Amino acid sequence: MEDIVKALKSVRDVYVSFPKRLKLAEEELSKINQEIQDILHVLELAKFNASEGYKYARDIKELRLERRKLKDEIELLEKIQEFTAYPKASEKVINKTIGEINKVQTKLNNRFYTMRVRKDLQEMIK
């Protein structure tokens, strides 16, 4: 009996909780992007000393790390959203979704960035 309740709670997560979580993550991502833009405009337009400049750089780093977490979460939740769009999910669709989520998780765990312009900075992020 407990396994039935547990399974129903999982279904509730997929169809109710995860869509809400996706919406909240997208809203938070938008807010963080706006905050980053505010700081970049301060860097562009304001006068500040080295100490303040370091604080702004640290703020941007923290915001970018939070932004990355949200983007990763959104990428996974979007796969679940695609799954819930099927009117009746077959075992094949469920297995496909599980495979896609595993593929995304592997990609996220093995992430690296290749500099596009500033190749001289590449060694700093390896």
Per-residue DSSP letters for 31-59?
HHHHHHHHHHHHHHH----HHHHHHHHHH
User: For position 87, what pLDDT does the model report?
Assistant: 85
What is the band of 112 on the pLDDT scale with cuts at 50, 70, 90?
confident
pLDDT surpassing 90 at residue 88? no
What is the band of 71 on the pLDDT scale with cuts at 50, 70, 90?
very high
- More confident position, 125 or 36: 36
Query: To the nearest whole percent, how much of the chain has pLDDT over 90?
Result: 82
pLDDT surpassing 80 at residue 126? no
What is the band of 86 on the pLDDT scale with cuts at 50, 70, 90?
confident
pLDDT in tens, 59-70: 999 999 999 999
Query: Region 27-35: what's the mean pLDDT?
Result: 98
Residue 15 CA: distances (Å) to CA of 49, 96, 112, 116: 50, 17, 32, 39
